[in-house]
Structure 1
Amino acid sequence: MSARRVLPWAMLALLVLAQIGYPLTGGGTRTGLTIATVAIGFVLSVGHAVLSRGPRSAAALVLVTTGGGLAVEACGVATGVPFGGYDYAGTLGPKLLGVPVVIPLAWTWMAWPAWLVAVRLVRPAVARIAVGAVALAAWDLFLDPQMVAEGHWTWLDTDPALPGVPDVPVGNYLGWLAVAAVMMTLLRLTAGVDARRVDGPADAPMYALYLWTYASSLLAHAVFLGLPASAGWGGLGMGLVAVPFAVTLIRSRRATRPGGQQRRRAT
């Protein structure tokens, strides 16, 4: 197996280890693991984009999601648009324009697997943008409640909120969906043709990253973090993409086994 295939899997393994450690620790160690996880995820997604799609796609990914993430977060902190009014605590490291540097990196970390999952699931451009936007934005149904519970940021006005998740306003999730749709549109326009092709073997680490994020977040919120409501909302929201995607991968794997085509035709 070539280095370009091994490196993403190795980075994914590091990310999984960091995330496994998160619910088992607390205080400064847990915060350190949060920052480390985001940094590893950023390197994983950008590195995969370079290795599988080339420098142009990787540069577009960073410009649209890291640069765009910083811009929209800075706007959000200063004006309350598009997520509602919120303030970052000083727990996540150095800030730029009032935003912890790790925050725009997190947009990139999950935007790339969300896009590749959409590319694999659907073909029409508009459908890919829509699915990619939901795939990315639904992650925040886990993320925001978890980070607010840890004290990394707080909302100035949380009304209205989802049942069981009183500390995060519904408008935040709608803002995420709008921003994610813009990011997916720009990513499709700027990342080139290579970013719109399906490459199952090369993209397997990103598929695994997305499904791992879904399953591990659901388990952590439900069992380890004491956040059952966000486990439910996140399980439903992110599951709109993650579950059909997992089914697609299972069916594809069965169809490519020896004799799989014959069995499928026989039924």
Structure 2
Amino acid sequence: MTGALTARRPGTDPAPLPWLPLALTVALLGTAIAYPLSSGSARDAVSWTIVLLGSAVSVSHATISRGARTGAGLLVLVGVVAVLFEALGLSTGFPYGEYRYSDMLGPTLLGVPFLVPLAWLMMAWPSWVLAARLTSRVRPARRRAARVAGAAYVFAGWDVVLDPQLVQAGYWRWANPEPGLPGIPTVPLTNLAGWLLAGLVLMSLLDVLVERTSRLPRIGDAAPLLTLGWMVLGGALAHAAWLDLPGSAVWGVVLAVPVLAVLAVQARRGRR
């Protein structure tokens, strides 16, 4: 693998607008706090703003940290894969199960609202960045497979928290929501299987993209990691305290435990 995929300090050459991803992240976190405190059309506006800011965090961080080719490639790759998977799901029910979007999400492409690939973009880059960190000590021969699997796990786990919230908001509905994970009666298990499959495909392609286009990171990864942590764990808190979604709150914490455990072990080893 190239040096861009290994755990190193940011490059010494100056990055343009190094503050931009973190500034967008701060705006995203403030907007996310407003979600459970809003309702109706105001909540819809908050949802759009969260996704737009989250996708901007991903593209800006990939561009500033790894280079313009990586940022542009990320935007195109995730957009294409998201539309193809979602269009396939809408027309055949594979791989997620049968579902339909409401008109609340606005204009569509092949039946897929524009907001949806932007949501994938918000989720994909932080998932890959976290997986790269989690697998930085894996043997080089096994690192790519571990990184792709870890990124797909994080990607699908994020959706476990997000999907019940957006079903509750009325953005889409499942024809057959059961059986689902215990405590989540509105989303079928086929959706989780579909996200794992989509995640494996997307992260395999993204891994190749980063390997072929990325330079040595010029800024740290605080912005995408903070985005991911806040949206998953902060989302779980919002589900438990304000949105009456205790099942997805519990699952968000449960799925985060292995990730936090690996990070704790890495931190302990780093202090030795």
Q: What's the TM-score once normalised by structure 1's chain length?
A: 0.88
* CA 212–34 in structure 1, closer or farther in 2 if over 3 Å, else same: same
Aligned to 1:161, the other structure's residue is in SS state coil
Q: Quick one: which of 134, 149, 153 aligns to 1:121?
A: 134
Give the CA deviation at 1:163: 1.8
| Higher RCO, Cα 8 Å, sep 6+ | 2
Counterpart position of 1:218? 236
Contact 1:56 1:192 in 2 (8 A): no
Percent identity, aligned pairs only, is 39
1:30 maps to 2:43: yes
Q: Which amino acid aligns with 2:254?
A: L
* CA 139–108 in structure 1, closer or farther in 2 if over 3 Å, else same: same
For structure 2, list consecutive stretches of 5 or more residues without a partner in the other structure. 1-13, 137-142
1:148 maps to 2:167: yes
Q: Quick one: which of 47, 56, 75 aligns to 1:43?
A: 56
Counterpart position of 1:260? none
Give the CA deviation at 1:147: 0.6
Within a 5 Å distance, the mapping from 1:240-259 to structure 2 comes to 240-241=258-259, 243-244=260-261, 246-247=263-264, 251=268, 255=271
Q: What's the TM-score once normalised by structure 2's chain length?
A: 0.87
Structure 2 CA distance for aligned equivalents of residues 206 and 245 of structure 1: 18
Structure 2 CA distance for aligned equivalents of residues 127 and 52 of structure 1: 22
Aligned to 1:127, the other structure's residue is in SS state helix
Instruction: Provide Cα deviations, 1:53-111, integer angstroms capped at 9, x if missing partner.
Output: 11221122122212111111111111111100000001122112111101011111111
Within a 5 Å distance, the mapping from 1:88-103 to structure 2 comes to 88-103=101-116
Aligned to 1:235, the other structure's residue is in SS state helix
Aligned to 1:167, the other structure's residue is in SS state coil
Q: Which amino acid aligns with 1:76?
A: G
Within a 5 Å distance, the mapping from 1:87-236 to structure 2 comes to 87-123=100-136, 124-193=143-212, 195=214, 199=217, 201-236=219-254
* CA 201–80 in structure 1, closer or farther in 2 if over 3 Å, else same: same
Contact 1:161 1:167 in 2 (8 A): yes
Q: Which amino acid aligns with 2:241?
A: V
Give the CA deviation at 1:249: 7.2
1:70 maps to 2:83: yes
Give the CA deviation at 1:165: 1.2
For structure 1, list consecutive stretches of 5 or more residues without a partner in the other structure. 256-263
Instruction: Provide Cα deviations, 1:205-258, integer angstroms capped at 9, x if missing partner.
Output: 1121121122211111111111001111122124432x1365267548x84xxx
The CA RMSD measured in Å over matched residues stands at 2.1
Q: Which has the higher helix share?
A: 1
Q: Which amino acid aligns with 1:181?
A: L
Structure 2 CA distance for aligned equivalents of residues 39 and 145 of structure 1: 20
Structure 2 CA distance for aligned equivalents of residues 227 and 111 of structure 1: 24
* CA 131–145 in structure 1, closer or farther in 2 if over 3 Å, else same: same
Structure 2 CA distance for aligned equivalents of residues 200 and 238 of structure 1: 28
Counterpart position of 1:9? 22
Q: Which amino acid aligns with 2:224?
A: M
Give the CA deviation at 1:190: 2.0
